Structure 1
Amino acid sequence: MSNPSFISFSGVSKSYDGANYVVDDLNLDVRKGEFLSLLGPSGSGKTTTLMMLAGFETPTQGEIRLDGKRLDDKPPHQRDIGMVFQNYALFPHLTIAENVAFPLSVRHVSRAEQKTRVKRALDMIELPHLANRRPSQLSGGQQQRVALARALVFEPSVVLMDEPLGALDKRLRETMQYEIMRLHRELSLTIVYVTHDQAEALTMSNRVAVFSDGRIQQAATPSELYENAQNAFVANFVGENNGLTGRVVNVSDDSATLALADGSIIRGRCESGLREGDEAMLALRPERAHIPSAEGTQVDGHNNVVQARVEELVYCGDHHRVHLKLGARDALVVKVPNTQRHALPAPGDMVEVAWRHDDCKILAMTASAHRNAPANYSPPSPLPSIITTAPAGAN
């Protein structure tokens, strides 16, 4: 059973100079009750998209609809949308209760109803005892919870959040993540959330839209993005990725064979449209690769195997990060669980690195992926000079 669209962007573009588009032909649907994150680097168009939905920016082209009704021709205060900003935007001269009541007062809600709703909102964020304090007397986490209560107090149909946790330290940020997730779940909110933090997007969202160059590169569930990126930009930007590039030497059904810079031949899953001779990137998560000699295991026929030199070992508590060189310049990272049975190699050792064919994906390189590649990246040479390439290292 398909869910009808609650928020809809249809052919939406935004240009400030009439020539360059910060958002380009955006088509996106958001379901009622969904938590959608807009994820991307600075300048990718995610915040402009949010601002157009909020009414602070006007689309150059296209339509935005909310529950089937045209929205882009209405001013912000008529859109029934709550907004939470990164800098809280609380009024310093008002008490916490007065800050939370502000959206109700501008909507001419009665004083009695305001009092009831403010109490309910402060109870919801577990700060009723701070109602008479000023924002300067609260911690950053408490101020952000107040900003959230203010956005929810008038019971909007949609809540927009623009990097709301960016100013908090790691512990407070994680606490607020769970707080927002709890409120989303308990109140069945529709949330559109802008962030550049991949872990935050994967942790909190029902679905994530990855932006680059004003366009959505992929919109999918967190697990689908992480496990099945559609292009090299998404693979590099979402989570940690070993991005090794080469030339496609064979394509069959849903798999392809790639020749790497050092002459290694590997096989992996692929998307349709990949052709022999294409420049492509291997997408491999560090936790999916392993070093058989460290684990006392044997390589089976389902694995890709390459020879690499150990450069560095980094202790990370529950795992070790093993940094390796594949050939002259290619870099590879393997996460080895910190268990007693693992005999770690030493820097300078030559080891086999193995991973299953199904645990990696071979993706066509895009302009966005090239810009997202490390500084030492240079594209592979045309066939047959495969081994002269200098592909991207681990990202």
Structure 2
Amino acid sequence: MSNPSFISFSGVSKSYDGAQYVVDGLNLDVRKGEFLSLLGPSGSGKTTTLMMLAGFESPTHGEIRLDGRRLDDKPPHQRDIGMVFQNYALFPHLTIAENVAFPLSVRHVSRAEQKTRVKRALEMIELPHLANRRPAQLSGGQQQRVALARALVFEPSVVLMDEPLGALDKHLRETMQYEIMRLHRELSLTVVYVTHDQAEALTMSDRVAVFSDGRIQQVATPSELYENAQNAFVANFVGENNGLTGRVVNAGEDWATLALSDGSVIRGRCEPGLRAGDEAMLALRPERAHIPSAEGAHVDEHSNVVRARVEELVYCGDHHRVHLALGSRDSFVVKVPNTQRHALPSPGSTIEIAWRHDDCKILAMSVPRSAPTLHVSTPPSPSLITTAPAGAN
């Protein structure tokens, strides 16, 4: 087996009231050295999944294994897992060096070894000059780096991150994304990363598991998720999507034809199981559609063509967003690159929009299950995050 499972969830479910499941029948494998993101809206089960892996929550059913060893019956301090939270959870009364050293001290590592490892960890995050400062004297990005160093200093098998960049501004968040990616690559870390930010998950991950309503909807590489969503939820949640709805006219194993509300008939890729008469959604990314008249482009037999009314033009720097109305009920967006080659249509005009058959997908409409019980977990105290052995001071 070329990629054996390093972390394994087998039939894992979690209920807080015995009636509804926050996580329901989870089966998930993580490879050693992989960067896996758990992506989903609030209440979808991603953070509860992370907390069960860390040991701060216990599964109601199923089992979790790490490197073949059963994990779900072990306390947090016996799991060899580092944890990074959104709120940093640094000790305010300790220096940066003392914060980073804490996981080592509770593991009874010698002072000489602590000093060596802390120095190496602070150099890794490029903050050795701040070793004697207190957390309050650091910026948010610097505090997050320190939290990352503390999670890595005892060389854990796995590093878990729960929305670690959510409190940072856009520029700093992007900087920290590349910092985490660099450390993952250089240290060959196994990372399980929770986020609700689609762009963050697509940028950083080897694979992404998309959660909704306590279940995984799809696990795939970022490009596979974006280009080949398996259901309507994934298509709408990951990136921007023109989710036009209609009825399936005919369907095969790989291709289907959809009649839209305005009478237009389009062709696209599909998943097996779609049948004529089904209500379905067209998944089409705004950058895949184009305006042939503006580009002087030729539309061939492999393209879908619809007529739509221009409602609004929005300038976005490197591109324009053309907002259109298709019939009386459907809206549509096309991204037009901001180059001199593209002439923009006028608001109020009716134009043709085209896209290739293989650039869109026709997906069955998902039937939502009842919402799971939402449980807001309070992050453990810093002493728990370091997974100190019982009785440690």
Q: TM-score range by the shorter chain?
A: over 0.9
Write the distance in 2 (CA, Å) between the matches of 1:320 and 1:190.
40
Q: Residue 233 of structure 1 contacts residue 369 of structure 1 at CA under 8 Å; is this kept in 2?
A: no
Q: Cα offset for 1:253?
A: 3.2
Superposed CA offset, 1:81-110 (max 9, x none):
000000000000000000000000010101
Alignment match, 2:107 = 107
Superposed CA offset, 1:337-391 (max 9, x none):
11101110010010000000000000001024999xxxxxxxxxxxxxxxxxxxx
Write the distance in 2 (CA, Å) between the matches of 1:63 and 1:315.
51
| Residue type at the aligned position of 1:236 | N
The reply to whether residue 244 of structure 1 matches residue 213 of structure 2 is: no
Structure 2 residue matching 1:312: 3-state secondary structure: strand
Structure 2 residue matching 1:113: 3-state secondary structure: helix
The number of aligned residues is: 371
Aligned-CA RMSD value: 1.1
Q: How does 1:54-203 map to 2 (within 5 A)?
A: 54-203=54-203
Write the distance in 2 (CA, Å) between the matches of 1:358 and 1:16.
44
Write the distance in 2 (CA, Å) between the matches of 1:2 and 1:275.
37
The reply to whether residue 227 of structure 1 matches residue 227 of structure 2 is: yes
| Residue type at the aligned position of 2:134 | R
Alignment match, 1:393 = none
Q: Residue 292 of structure 1 contacts residue 354 of structure 1 at CA under 8 Å; is this kept in 2?
A: yes
Question: What TM-score do the two structures reach when normalised by structure 2?
Answer: 0.93
Write the distance in 1 (CA, Å) between the matches of 2:169 and 2:24.
34
Alignment match, 1:389 = none
| Residue type at the aligned position of 1:307 | R
Structure 2 residue matching 1:340: 3-state secondary structure: coil
Alignment match, 1:208 = 208
Structure 2 residue matching 1:184: 3-state secondary structure: helix
Alignment match, 2:333 = 333
Compare 57-66 and 298-307 and name the one that shifted more.
Answer: 298-307
**Identity score, percent:** 89
Q: Residue 253 of structure 2 contacts residue 271 of structure 2 at CA under 8 Å; is this kept in 1?
A: no
Write the distance in 2 (CA, Å) between the matches of 1:180 and 1:205.
11
Alignment match, 2:374 = none
Q: Cα offset for 1:172?
A: 0.3
Superposed CA offset, 1:297-324 (max 9, x none):
1211111000000000000111000000
Write the distance in 2 (CA, Å) between the matches of 1:294 and 1:311.
16
Write the distance in 2 (CA, Å) between the matches of 1:235 and 1:343.
30
Structure 2 residue matching 1:341: 3-state secondary structure: coil
Q: Cα offset for 1:23?
A: 0.1
Structure 1 residue matching 2:118: 3-state secondary structure: helix
Q: Residue 319 of structure 2 contacts residue 337 of structure 2 at CA under 8 Å; is this kept in 1?
A: yes
Question: What TM-score do the two structures reach when normalised by structure 1?
Answer: 0.93
Higher RCO structure (Cα 8 Å, ≥6 apart): 2
Q: Residue 208 of structure 1 contacts residue 222 of structure 1 at CA under 8 Å; is this kept in 2?
A: yes
Unaligned runs of 5+ in 1: 372-395
Unaligned runs of 5+ in 2: 372-393
Write the distance in 2 (CA, Å) between the matches of 1:17 and 1:335.
47
Q: Residue 209 of structure 2 contacts residue 219 of structure 2 at CA under 8 Å; is this kept in 1?
A: yes
Q: Cα offset for 1:233?
A: 0.4
| Residue type at the aligned position of 2:190 | T
